[in-house]
Chains A and B, each alone.
Chain A
Amino acid sequence: RKEVEQDPGPFNVPEGATVAFNCTYSNSASQSFFWYRQDCRKEPKLLMSVYSSGNEDGRFTAQLNRASQYISLLIRDSKLSDSATYLCVVNRQSGYSTLTFGKGTMLLVSP
């Protein structure tokens, strides 16, 4: 089983739609979880951290299910500018040292 698995997509949605991505991770000892965003031919950038209680940042909501070892990202009221690849990221071990990046889920928002 891969350390971090994501559906590669693409997810094609119209503007204004709600879309959700899931990600599963294999290391039950992982403590920290993140979503990064990567635009085409650009570097990844942190979108948001994922907290145990779930967290929201504007139109974005992240959830963590430790029992099932999956993380989700919900995007409401999709914008054209949301088109990107969303990377699920998990820390490999305790501490801050290393993160494992999923291969990403591509989102395409159309007018």
Chain B
Amino acid sequence: GAGVSQSPSNKVTEKGKDVELRCDPISGHTALYWYRQRLGQGLEFLIYFQGNSAPDKSGLPSDRFSAERTGESVSTLTIQRTQQEDSAVYLCASRRGHSYEQYFGPGTRLTVT
């Protein structure tokens, strides 16, 4: 079946511009996560959505970062006024209700020049 998809796969943007990254979770998965992975580093938790509950935003590094999710479908991660340190791979993952396993998308590689 279809896995988690993310778009775009690659994004190059100029410092100061806004970017929007998209994640399509696996159908029926109620939980959705965004992570950031800088080159050679581990996964950094950003935000977590669970159904219609308020999202856990505790990992967002600054107010330039925001994310939305409509119901149990698509999510968008927006980074405003991008900085060079925002360059990373942004990974999205989804999970079924009563399971620990997170299924990851292929990621969006963001490069801020």
The reply to whether chain A is a binding partner of chain B is yes
Binding site for B on A (CB under 8 A): 32, 34, 42-46, 49, 87, 91, 96-104
Contact assessment for B43 and A87 in the assembled complex, using a CB-CB cutoff below 8 Å: yes
Contact with A along B88-113 (1 / 0, CB 8 A): 00010001011111101111000000
- Beyond A97-B48, A98-B56, A104-B42, whether A44 also contacts B104 by CB under 8 A is yes
Contact with A along B16-39 (1 / 0, CB 8 A): 000000000000000101010000
* Minimum Cβ distance to chain B for residue A35 (Å): 12
- A39 to B98 Cα, complex, angstroms: 27
- A62 to B98 Cα, complex, angstroms: 22
Residue of A nearest to B53 (CB): A97
Contact assessment for B106 and A42 in the assembled complex, using a CB-CB cutoff below 8 Å: yes
- A91 to B31 Cα, complex, angstroms: 15
Most buried by A among B33, B97, B102, B104: B102
- A45 to B3 Cα, complex, angstroms: 12
Contact assessment for A96 and B99 in the assembled complex, using a CB-CB cutoff below 8 Å: yes
- A32 to B95 Cα, complex, angstroms: 15
Contact assessment for B104 and A102 in the assembled complex, using a CB-CB cutoff below 8 Å: no
B residues within 8 A CB of A42? Answer: 106
Contact assessment for A49 and B100 in the assembled complex, using a CB-CB cutoff below 8 Å: yes
Most buried by B among A32, A91, A102, A103: A103
- Beyond A96-B31, A100-B45, A104-B42, whether A46 also contacts B101 by CB under 8 A is yes
B residues within 8 A CB of A101? Answer: 35, 42-43, 45
